Chains A and B, each alone.
Chain A
Amino acid sequence: MSAPRSLSYAPGGRRVNWQKVAVIVAFGVVPVFLLLLFTYIPFAKMIQFSFYNMSYTKNKGFVGWDNYVKVFSKSEYVDAMLLSLYYMAGAVVQLSLALFFASVLSLEKIRGAGFFKSAMFFPFLVNGIAIGYIFKYFYTRGFVLDSVLQAIGIPLENLPYWLRDQSVNNWSLVFTSLWKYCGQNMVLFIGAIASIDPTLYEAATIDGANRWQQFCHIILPGIKTVFMLNLILSITGSLSAFEPAYVVGSMGANGTATFFIKIHQMAHVSGKVGQACAMAMVLMVLILIFTAGQRLFFRFVMKDSDNTFNAKSNKAKALW
């Protein structure tokens, strides 16, 4: 956010401008109150509760770091955390596909481009519970996915139970997440590509650059901010993944319970609020570490591509 502008029509100064005070209080007090109520107070309480052995109704006293020790000593939680690796892998595939489709739809003259864009984007607007039903149906033995695979010649005996078989079920869930968010990422990338100066492509074509070179030297540097932000969001989102396991995986049945599902169950099924808060704290710290780490990494890496981008555009200018 940019710094506030001091406005000439509402000067500060010694005399209190009561009308100004009134408008600031009247317009600002509710949003700030709600921000405190639903973000900062829960945040402070989360830190506090994580050191107590407590439920929603009873507080059995201060236990120090015990709750945190349990998070790391029980293999159940560590395993749940490792599930996010599936979702991270899925996020990488998702962003690559989104980038591929966005480049094709932006660079080439495609008949029906509007249709393809809408078709791939629409899953993003589907209600989460509806996604749960749609994919339970989709993955049921002998139903949608199996029929399609049988139609291309794979016999049913060779197919796994997509949601029950623990060697594939997490991938099945990751796919539902990819299905929902790939089109959204694609739309964002199309927007970012559209903001690149089109004369760069002309210059590159005259330079003899092919599509692949244009992609590497014009598109990638041109959309790096949007791409980076989406990558950070997807990776940190993987850490707190819960939607597929919650709606499609029947609340994390058959070894699909992600760390967030564990937190949810700890608080709302077992009623151990203190323990759940410690787990949430661990999750939050992990997310912050990943976010900061990625930002540093990209600052380091992107510096390099910044230079290639500048070099390229200088060359283009020199050519004209």
Chain B
Amino acid sequence: MMNANTSVASSDTGARIKRGIIKFLEYAALILGSFVALLPIVSSFMTSFKSGDEYAATNAMTPPQNWFNFENYRQVWVEGDMLRAFLTSFGVVIVVVLVSVMMGSMLAYVLNRFAFPGNNLIRNLFMIATLIPGIAMQVTTYQIMRQLGLLNSIWGYMILMSGTDVISIYIFLQFFENLNVALDESAVLEGCTYFGVFFKILLPLTKPAIVTVAVLKGVGVYNEYYNANLYLQSNSWRTISTALYSFSGPFKSSYNIICAGVLLTLIPSLIIFLFFQKQVYAGLANGSVKG
């Protein structure tokens, strides 16, 4: 009896020690993971506060002497014409998000609520499009944009970006499937047109889907650089990505100034992330299931 009790107790402490070690290793792994994720950003952050001499003399991991030295930020903001780039980027984001939300929700409404010849064809066209890797077609897309005279045009870039976004259509389709048809029917009986049903009744109800699509698409467009570099090569329409890209010329060896530019571009993403974390995560989950 005694023996049995002590052996239970000792295996208990054994198990507790084992749990403790596992817990310790788990925290160590999480701290290491977060450290690795943040280190590249934090090192750029510290460098962005260093003066030119300080940058040349100190190690990359030495904290700056003065954390309030915003000279690099001022310089990159003025000489890099960043205000203009931010305004261009925000303009593109607003237009593209509006167009995508409207197109996605309208098409989803039509596909979900009406039976018509071609309904399935359109769904299949969108589904098959996800299988064709867009990246493989950038050569011929460029050719088409060239023929349409949309090279170096901010409108061309906006049209290309709002192009067909299958993920937002999926998110809206899913949403409409869960909206009761009785809503539409009673409105139609009261004399509402189909356009009225969509704009007055259904669209306001899709607000959660709109926020998800807007956040996902907004962040995506804000960070887009491949097409921006390809299609917006003139200096008058620089987005934040192309502006940043051009810094390697004038600020070539002054990494302290470039780091300030890099940090400035991160601020909008950080703000959106802090305020819309839930929508960012939800949007990702939606997007990934349909690939």
Residues of A within 8 A of B (CB): 1-10, 12, 19-20, 22-24, 26-28, 30-32, 34-35, 37-43, 45-46, 49, 56, 97, 100-101, 104-105, 108, 110, 115-116, 118-120, 122-123, 125-130, 133-135, 137-138, 140, 142-144, 147-148, 151, 179, 182-184, 187-188, 191-192, 211, 225-226, 229-230, 232-233, 236, 240, 242, 246-247, 260, 263-264, 267-268, 273, 276-277, 280-281, 283-284, 287-288, 291
> Once the chains are docked, how many angstroms separate the CA of A225 from the CA of B272?
29
Q: Are B133 and A134 in contact (CB under 8 A)?
A: no
Q: Are A179 and B40 in contact (CB under 8 A)?
A: yes
Q: Which of A4, A108, A127 contacts B119 (CB 8 A)?
A: A4
Give me 30 A-to-B residue pairs in the complex whose CB atoms sit less than 8 angstroms apart, sorted by A's number.
A4-B112, A4-B115, A5-B181, A10-B115, A20-B116, A23-B114, A38-B144, A39-B134, A42-B140, A45-B140, A45-B144, A116-B34, A118-B273, A119-B33, A119-B34, A120-B34, A127-B241, A128-B241, A130-B262, A133-B259, A134-B41, A138-B43, A179-B40, A183-B37, A187-B284, A229-B291, A240-B136, A267-B139, A283-B133, A284-B133
> Once the chains are docked, how many angstroms separate the CA of A233 from the CA of B285?
14
Q: Are B244 and A130 in contact (CB under 8 A)?
A: yes
Give the residue name and chain of the B residue nearest to A292 (CB).
B131
Q: Are A23 and B195 in contact (CB under 8 A)?
A: yes
Given A123-B37, A191-B281; A147-B60 close (CB under 8 Å): yes
> Once the chains are docked, how many angstroms separate the CA of A300 from the CA of B277?
37
Expressed in whole angstroms, the minimum distance between the Cβ of B118 and any Cβ of chain A is 9
Give the residue name and chain of the A residue nearest to B100 (CB).
A31
Give the residue name and chain of the A residue nearest to B220 (CB).
A125
Q: Are B288 and A38 in contact (CB under 8 A)?
A: no
Please, which residues of chain B bring their CB within 8 A of the CB of A288?
131
Q: Are B225 and A127 in contact (CB under 8 A)?
A: yes
Give the residue name and chain of the A residue nearest to B126 (CB).
A35
Q: Are A280 and B136 in contact (CB under 8 A)?
A: yes
Expressed in whole angstroms, the minimum distance between the Cβ of B92 and any Cβ of chain A is 14
Chain B: interface residue total (CB-CB under 8 A): 102
Q: Are B33 and A263 in contact (CB under 8 A)?
A: no
Q: Are A138 and B40 in contact (CB under 8 A)?
A: yes
Q: Are B225 and A128 in contact (CB under 8 A)?
A: yes
Please, which residues of chain B bring their CB within 8 A of the CB of A42?
137, 140-141, 143-144
Q: Are A39 and B164 in contact (CB under 8 A)?
A: yes
Please, which residues of chain A bring their CB within 8 A of the CB of B120?
3-4
> Once the chains are docked, how many angstroms separate the CA of A127 from the CA of B30?
24
Expressed in whole angstroms, the minimum distance between the Cβ of B93 and any Cβ of chain A is 13
Q: Which of B128-175 contact A (CB under 8 A)?
A: 129, 131-144, 146, 159-160, 162-164, 169-170, 173
Q: Are A38 and B40 in contact (CB under 8 A)?
A: no
The 7 closest A-B pairs by CB, nearest first: A27-B106, A6-B115, A42-B140, A119-B34, A280-B136, A143-B60, A35-B164
Q: Are A119 and B163 in contact (CB under 8 A)?
A: no
Q: Which of B61, B141, B222 contacts A38 (CB 8 A)?
A: B141
Q: Which of B274-291 contact A (CB under 8 A)?
A: 277, 280-281, 284-285, 288-289, 291
Q: Are B137 and A280 in contact (CB under 8 A)?
A: yes
Q: Are A247 and B225 in contact (CB under 8 A)?
A: yes
- B214 located at the interface, meaning its Cβ lies under 8 Å from any Cβ of chain A in the complex: no
Q: Are B140 and A31 in contact (CB under 8 A)?
A: no
- B8 located at the interface, meaning its Cβ lies under 8 Å from any Cβ of chain A in the complex: no
Please, which residues of chain B bring their CB within 8 A of the CB of A40?
125, 129
